Structure 1
Amino acid sequence: MERLSGYEDFDLGQLVNFIVMGRGDTVIELEAALGFSVMTNRSNGCRYGDADFLPSWEVIEVHRYWYEVVYVLGDDGFGIVIFVPKDTDPELIEMLQQYAPE
């Protein structure tokens, strides 16, 4: 909590946004909500499937029924946390499985 004390004048929405995908949601719907492609590296433009592709997220964690993916988007630390159920868009799940720690 001490680490967060410098942010007491901020609303939670100014620090982080949360996106919870539902079963059957697509990567296209996720990307529309985010405003960027999770399947493309934000720095070099490589797309998932390209030989040089590396995902742009900061952290990915595997849970029993979902993935938790964190993007830090600003120098001020603003970020987005995405909860992705394991039974959603197959291409997205394939990418998350490939790059998630075991």
Structure 2
Amino acid sequence: MYIVRDPCDVPSLPHAGISHIVSQRISELRLSAEEALPDLGKFIVVEPGDAVGELEERAHCNLITSPFDSIVYGDPDFEPSFEWLEHHTVEACYEIAFILAGDFFVAVFVPDDPSIDPDLLSLCREYS
């Protein structure tokens, strides 16, 4: 997984569509000279082979597990904890947004690619 901590990290992202969206999101933040991206949030880009458990740990967000009990995606009682999830058709990816304490955000980008964890990809397809 890639974690974007600085706007300078964006050109090194391996997925051109995701790189485009992350650049757009950073521009929309309109950071002042006193503000730094890590103070406001982070962008995480999922890669093939990434384990969802590790992704949830690094993001500090629950993607396929409930933050309150042992319910996981696939259970009929599962309710996602993200604010919203969007499928970007042209860029061939999903964007999952979390708003945490205060105004801190986490945006997780998932390539629409069969090499991504099947449960994560299924969740993205179902909720987008």
State if a TM-score over 0.5 links the two structures: yes
The structure in which a higher percent of residues are helix is 2
User: Which structure has the higher relative contact order (CA within 8 Å, separation 6+)?
Assistant: 1
Q: Distance in 1 between matches of 2:72 and 2:87?
A: 22
- CA offsets, 1:22-62, max 9 Å, x none? 233231331232234311222x3232122221100001110
Check if 1:77 corresponds to 2:103. Answer: yes
- TM-score norm. by structure 1 comes to 0.77
Residues 62-102 of structure 1: CA distance to partner in whole angstroms, max 9, x if unpaired?
0121100001111x2101001101121111111111111xx
Question: Are residues 36 and 57 of structure 1, via their aligned partners in 2, closer, same or farther at CA, if it must alter by over 3 Å?
Answer: closer
Aligned residues: 95
Percent identity, aligned pairs only, is 37
Aligned mates of 2:97, 2:58 — CA distance in 1? 15
Give RMSD over aligned pairs: 2.2
User: Where in structure 1 are there 5+ consecutive unaligned residues?
Assistant: none
CA deviations 1:9-31 (Å, max 9, x no partner) are 43121111010112332313312
Structure 1 residue runs of 4 or more that deviate by more than 3 Å after TM superposition: none
